[in-house]
Structure 1
Amino acid sequence: MKKHALLGLVLALLVLLATLPAAAQDVMELARKEGKVVWYSSIALPIAQELCNLFNSKNLGIECVLHRSGSGKLFRRLLQEARAGIYNADILHTSNIGHFVTLRKEKAIIPYRPKGTERFDPNFLEKDGYWTILRASVYIPAYNTTKVKPEEVPQSWLDFLDPKWKGKLVNAHPSYSGFVSVGMAALVKLFGWEFFDKLAAQKPRIVQSAVDATTFVVRGEALMSAGGTGYQTFDAIQRGEPIQYVYPKEGVPFIASPQAILAKAPHPNAAKVFSDWLFSKEAQQVLANHGLYVGHPDVQYPPSLKPLKDLKLIILTPEEAVKMRKPVREAFRKKFGV
């Protein structure tokens, strides 16, 4: 009886392993010995936790340990830990591609191409394999559908500067949110700093994260966000919340959110196994279900999600993201007083 039970356990484990993209057997064995993978991630907590829980349900002997925070906060934490000689994280995932350019220059990340990504949209791949785009979205305004009439909805980013919206907007802080940092940098590229001088004069509510901005609009504590995470707005719409997108005629900033394995990862093999899984169809479909754009060619997007090809995109290069990261943070503090 015990032999049958043992055989059943072995067969079950083989079936579970088959759900992962193929990983070299020695890597898998070493990953099991490491026992866990520590993921520093800026994606919204419910989605990050959903992914971790799904991975852990495989019972591979590798536990996903999640540390979720804003992109800026995670990046600063990583740097502070490194200066102190502390290396906790195996994988970093943020919404500021500039972080990864900096880390590559510092030799703090290693090249690793997750299994199966050779079929991905090339726009989601870094040519040398130092990072791979886990998910993408757009920095897009939103309005409360019970508070703002259809004919009042802005048609341009400049419409948010109309005095009638003074004190009725919300904006997240770029020092915390990499999503907001890159989004604002793209708007500076388009309109110059004068746009944010005028936006600051509108006295918007300032919140920590882009997720908070969506929440404020849903609750009616602000009539509109002057920019937020497209996927968070999508999830809120799917829940039936009174919120809808604003599509400015000038376009919306495209935010690519990379992921990379750290050079001093304490669990390097587990990091490879987890990375392979995150870029599998199963995990990528989870992201697509939440209104995120992914590189996997076989995922099915929700019918209500506007295809990326139908959006007018404002794109910041990785080098521009690096160059603008500090100026955006400093200018925001000066102009908005926070």
Structure 2
Amino acid sequence: MRCSILNLAFIASAAATKAHRAVYDNSTLQVETRSLDELHQAALAEGGVVTLWHGGDEATQQNFLKNAFETRFPGMTLNVTVDLSKYHDSNLDQQIADENVYVDSIILQTLHDYPRWKEQGVLLNYAPAGFEAIHGDFKDDDAAYMGLFIIAWGLTSNPNKTTVATPTEYTDFLDPAFKDKLVLTYPNDDDAVLFQFDLIVKQYGQEWFDGLLAQNPRWVRGTATPRTLLNAANSSYVATFTSSKSPAAQPGTAFPTEGEFVAWPQTGAILKDAPHPEGAKLLHNFILSTEHQSVRGWSVREDLPAPVGFSKIWEQEGTNVTAFGEWMSDRANVERMRFWFENLIGSAQGLSPLKDNL
């Protein structure tokens, strides 16, 4: 029998964080004081293994993290499984219900789940080194969960396949030159994409969405798939706004300034019953370290500079980095929006993006 679902509102949690961001319950909070090298030795003594479930839509999406971690810490093995966050969360719920937790660390997009898991008492209250530097709106007061890095959607085109200027606003995608050449992720298959469409329709009205449908876009599963098709030589698709983008300057990419782009702190936690807690602590300390945060674009840390040409993400024009978490907490509204779009474009078709060979 499954554990009961406690529908705790993330927006209330965020509000509490703003009011009490400097107050921590040290009676239950483990505050890390060891160096990465000391943590490395403790993790090796434990067995040298970490099991991570990471949200994503391509099996190889976190290979860079695995390679960076295992290179930095010889003898360690990071077993990372990438799957859609909405599937990882239900599978974790089953582990919890079965009292058979075999995952050490989770890093997921389903921000509304973390307050519930904290309330159930299944997360480890653990503050890695640098926890105090994490922006206050991105972390739980008791360090049960925290934002580990930033993800953002951007506007992308392939300038090698089109002479049309790179779109800089969502209205640009209605240019007749893009007819039959857009590839977009189903909004009813990914909540972060759904939030993007919700924001756009609220700003530009259903007329904008009707115009987008008139462009005859190809709908796909997964947010990496559009970029794959844009880069494929045998594909006629040239533009999308449902894939992630870093703040680094890249040809054919932009962030809107009139419209609003989605950004959020991808949030992580260590399971209280993790089989390899020292390994999980090493992983979280590494991800939050300045050496790793400095190569990830926008940082969750307040003590690191913004990327060149940008503001820190919580000050960045064109996005509200806490809005996605607040929106995710209202599951009734999320479901209304999901079915509103699904009624217009149909249910998501195709294999899982991890199995479709795209």
TM-score range with shorter-chain normalisation?
0.7 to 0.9
Aligned counterpart for 1:209 among listed residues 212, 222, 225: 222
Alignment of 1:36 with 2:46, yes or no, is no
Query: Does the C-alpha gap of structure 1 residues 320 and 211 become closer, same or farther in structure 2, counting only changes over 3 Å?
Result: same
Moved more, 47-56 or 135-144: 47-56
Distance 1:21 1:125 in 2: 25
Gaps of 5+ in 1: 1-17
Equivalent position SS for 2:92: helix
Deviation per residue, 1:95-140 (Å, 9 max, x gap): 3422324433444433322112212333433333222111113222
Query: Does the C-alpha gap of structure 1 residues 33 and 147 become closer, same or farther in structure 2, counting only changes over 3 Å?
Result: closer
Aligned counterpart for 1:98 among listed residues 112, 115, 138: 112
Name the residue aligned to 1:7: none
Equivalent position SS for 1:203: coil
Query: Does the C-alpha gap of structure 1 residues 217 and 67 become closer, same or farther in structure 2, counting only changes over 3 Å?
Result: same
Q: Between Structure 1 and Structure 2, which shows a larger proportion of helix residues?
A: 1
Name the residue aligned to 2:275: 266
Distance 2:36 2:54 in 1: 21
Deviation per residue, 1:265-313 (Å, 9 max, x gap): 22233222221222112222332xxxx311235656764x644445321
Name the residue aligned to 1:74: 88
Structure 1 segment 123-202 matched on structure 2, within 5 A = 123-149=137-163, 152-161=165-174, 165-174=178-187, 177=190, 179-187=192-200, 190=203, 196=209, 199-202=212-215
Query: Does the C-alpha gap of structure 1 residues 109 and 195 become closer, same or farther in structure 2, counting only changes over 3 Å?
Result: farther
Give the deviation of 1:224 after TM superposition: 1.3
> Normalised by the size of structure 2, how large is the TM-score?
0.70
- Alignment identity in percent? 21
Equivalent position SS for 1:109: coil
Aligned residue identity for 1:333: E
Give the deviation of 1:51 after TM superposition: 2.2
Query: Does the C-alpha gap of structure 1 residues 33 and 122 become closer, same or farther in structure 2, counting only changes over 3 Å?
Result: same
Gaps of 5+ in 2: 1-33, 349-358
Distance 1:245 1:30 in 2: 41
Equivalent position SS for 1:320: helix
Name the residue aligned to 1:293: 298
Distance 2:336 2:220 in 1: 19
Aligned residue identity for 1:230: K
Name the residue aligned to 1:118: 132
Query: Does the C-alpha gap of structure 1 residues 52 and 101 become closer, same or farther in structure 2, counting only changes over 3 Å?
Result: same
Paired residue total = 307
Query: Does the C-alpha gap of structure 1 residues 142 and 274 become closer, same or farther in structure 2, counting only changes over 3 Å?
Result: same
Distance 1:195 1:262 in 2: 43
